[in-house]
Amino acid sequence: MLWVKSLHIIFVTAWFAGLFYLPRLFVNHAMAGDAATADRLLAMERKLYRFMLPLMVLALIFGLWLWLGYGITGKWMHAKLTLVVLLIGYHHYCGRLLKNFAAGRNVHGHVWYRWFNEIPVLILSAVVILVVVKPF
Protein backbone atom coordinates (compact mmCIF):
# COMPACT_ATOMS: atom_id res chain seq x y z
CA MET A 1 0.00 0.00 0.00
CA LEU A 2 2.82 2.37 0.82
CA TRP A 3 4.32 1.88 -2.69
CA VAL A 4 0.97 2.81 -4.23
CA LYS A 5 0.66 5.85 -1.95
CA SER A 6 4.23 6.91 -2.81
CA LEU A 7 3.49 6.69 -6.54
CA HIS A 8 0.23 8.57 -5.95
CA ILE A 9 2.03 11.45 -4.23
CA ILE A 10 4.84 11.47 -6.87
CA PHE A 11 2.41 11.80 -9.81
CA VAL A 12 0.19 14.30 -7.95
CA THR A 13 3.28 16.46 -7.40
CA ALA A 14 4.39 16.17 -11.05
CA TRP A 15 0.86 16.99 -12.27
CA PHE A 16 0.78 20.05 -10.03
CA ALA A 17 4.08 21.28 -11.45
CA GLY A 18 2.21 21.60 -14.74
CA LEU A 19 -0.96 23.04 -13.13
CA PHE A 20 1.17 25.78 -11.52
CA TYR A 21 3.45 26.51 -14.52
CA LEU A 22 1.02 26.43 -17.48
CA PRO A 23 -1.15 29.36 -16.25
CA ARG A 24 2.09 31.25 -15.50
CA LEU A 25 3.02 30.81 -19.18
CA PHE A 26 -0.47 32.13 -20.04
CA VAL A 27 0.26 35.27 -17.93
CA ASN A 28 3.41 35.91 -20.02
CA HIS A 29 1.62 35.01 -23.25
CA ALA A 30 -1.15 37.55 -22.54
CA MET A 31 1.58 40.20 -22.08
CA ALA A 32 3.64 39.16 -25.15
CA GLY A 33 4.44 42.19 -27.30
CA ASP A 34 5.69 40.42 -30.42
CA ALA A 35 4.84 37.36 -32.54
CA ALA A 36 8.18 35.59 -31.91
CA THR A 37 7.66 35.65 -28.14
CA ALA A 38 4.03 34.53 -28.52
CA ASP A 39 5.06 31.61 -30.79
CA ARG A 40 7.81 30.50 -28.40
CA LEU A 41 5.39 30.55 -25.44
CA LEU A 42 2.77 28.66 -27.46
CA ALA A 43 5.29 25.90 -28.25
CA MET A 44 6.20 25.64 -24.54
CA GLU A 45 2.51 25.58 -23.50
CA ARG A 46 1.67 22.84 -26.01
CA LYS A 47 4.56 20.60 -24.89
CA LEU A 48 3.73 21.12 -21.20
CA TYR A 49 -0.01 20.44 -21.65
CA ARG A 50 0.71 17.27 -23.64
CA PHE A 51 3.02 16.14 -20.81
CA MET A 52 0.47 16.89 -18.06
CA LEU A 53 -2.18 14.43 -19.29
CA PRO A 54 -0.33 11.13 -18.51
CA LEU A 55 0.75 12.61 -15.15
CA MET A 56 -2.87 13.39 -14.27
CA VAL A 57 -4.05 9.93 -15.35
CA LEU A 58 -1.34 8.16 -13.30
CA ALA A 59 -2.08 10.32 -10.21
CA LEU A 60 -5.77 9.38 -10.49
CA ILE A 61 -5.09 5.66 -11.15
CA PHE A 62 -2.99 5.33 -7.97
CA GLY A 63 -5.50 7.40 -6.01
CA LEU A 64 -8.37 5.15 -7.15
CA TRP A 65 -6.23 2.12 -6.32
CA LEU A 66 -5.81 3.41 -2.74
CA TRP A 67 -9.52 4.24 -2.44
CA LEU A 68 -11.13 1.23 -4.14
CA GLY A 69 -8.28 -1.28 -3.83
CA TYR A 70 -7.45 -0.73 -0.17
CA GLY A 71 -10.84 0.66 0.88
CA ILE A 72 -9.38 3.82 2.42
CA THR A 73 -12.38 6.14 2.57
CA GLY A 74 -14.56 8.43 4.68
CA LYS A 75 -16.56 11.67 4.42
CA TRP A 76 -13.20 13.45 3.81
CA MET A 77 -12.77 11.33 0.67
CA HIS A 78 -16.11 12.50 -0.77
CA ALA A 79 -15.10 16.13 -0.21
CA LYS A 80 -11.68 15.34 -1.69
CA LEU A 81 -13.22 13.74 -4.79
CA THR A 82 -15.39 16.83 -5.34
CA LEU A 83 -12.23 18.96 -5.36
CA VAL A 84 -10.49 16.44 -7.65
CA VAL A 85 -13.35 16.76 -10.17
CA LEU A 86 -12.90 20.57 -10.02
CA LEU A 87 -9.17 20.07 -10.63
CA ILE A 88 -9.80 17.87 -13.68
CA GLY A 89 -12.16 20.60 -14.95
CA TYR A 90 -9.42 23.19 -14.41
CA HIS A 91 -6.93 21.02 -16.32
CA HIS A 92 -9.40 20.66 -19.19
CA TYR A 93 -10.17 24.41 -19.20
CA CYS A 94 -6.41 25.11 -19.53
CA GLY A 95 -6.58 23.06 -22.75
CA ARG A 96 -9.42 25.29 -24.01
CA LEU A 97 -7.46 28.45 -23.17
CA LEU A 98 -4.42 27.01 -24.98
CA LYS A 99 -6.57 26.41 -28.08
CA ASN A 100 -7.76 30.04 -27.89
CA PHE A 101 -4.17 31.31 -27.75
CA ALA A 102 -3.27 29.09 -30.74
CA ALA A 103 -6.19 30.47 -32.75
CA GLY A 104 -5.45 34.07 -31.74
CA ARG A 105 -8.78 34.15 -29.86
CA ASN A 106 -7.49 34.82 -26.33
CA VAL A 107 -9.82 37.31 -24.57
CA HIS A 108 -8.23 37.46 -21.09
CA GLY A 109 -5.55 39.86 -19.87
CA HIS A 110 -2.52 39.01 -17.71
CA VAL A 111 -4.26 40.10 -14.47
CA TRP A 112 -7.08 37.59 -15.11
CA TYR A 113 -4.49 34.84 -15.64
CA ARG A 114 -2.68 35.80 -12.39
CA TRP A 115 -5.90 35.17 -10.43
CA PHE A 116 -6.63 32.07 -12.52
CA ASN A 117 -3.12 30.80 -11.54
CA GLU A 118 -4.07 30.87 -7.83
CA ILE A 119 -6.93 28.35 -8.13
CA PRO A 120 -4.72 25.18 -8.04
CA VAL A 121 -2.96 26.53 -4.93
CA LEU A 122 -6.28 26.77 -3.10
CA ILE A 123 -7.46 23.34 -4.26
CA LEU A 124 -4.12 21.68 -3.35
CA SER A 125 -4.23 23.21 0.13
CA ALA A 126 -7.78 22.00 0.74
CA VAL A 127 -7.08 18.47 -0.61
CA VAL A 128 -3.91 18.00 1.45
CA ILE A 129 -5.69 19.14 4.65
CA LEU A 130 -8.60 16.79 3.90
CA VAL A 131 -6.41 13.73 3.22
CA VAL A 132 -3.85 14.30 6.02
CA VAL A 133 -6.01 15.78 8.82
CA LYS A 134 -9.24 13.97 7.78
CA PRO A 135 -11.36 16.62 9.64
CA PHE A 136 -14.59 14.67 9.05
Q: Under the criterion CB under 6 A, does residue 133 sit at the interface with ligand HEM?
A: no
Stretch 46-105 residues interacting with ligand HEM (CB under 6 A): 59-60, 63-64, 66-67, 72, 84, 87
Q: Under the criterion CB under 6 A, does residue 130 sit at the interface with ligand HEM?
A: no
CB nearer ligand HEM, residue 85 or residue 102 = 85
- Where does this chain touch ligand HEM (CB under 6 A) — which range of 27-35, 40-48, 96-104, 128-136? 128-136
Stretch 26-45 residues interacting with ligand HEM (CB under 6 A): none
Residues 6+ apart with CB under 8 A from 10: none
Burial class (CB in 10 A: 0-12, 13-18, 19+), 35: exposed
Among 10, 79, 119, 124, binds ligand HEM (CB under 6 A): 124
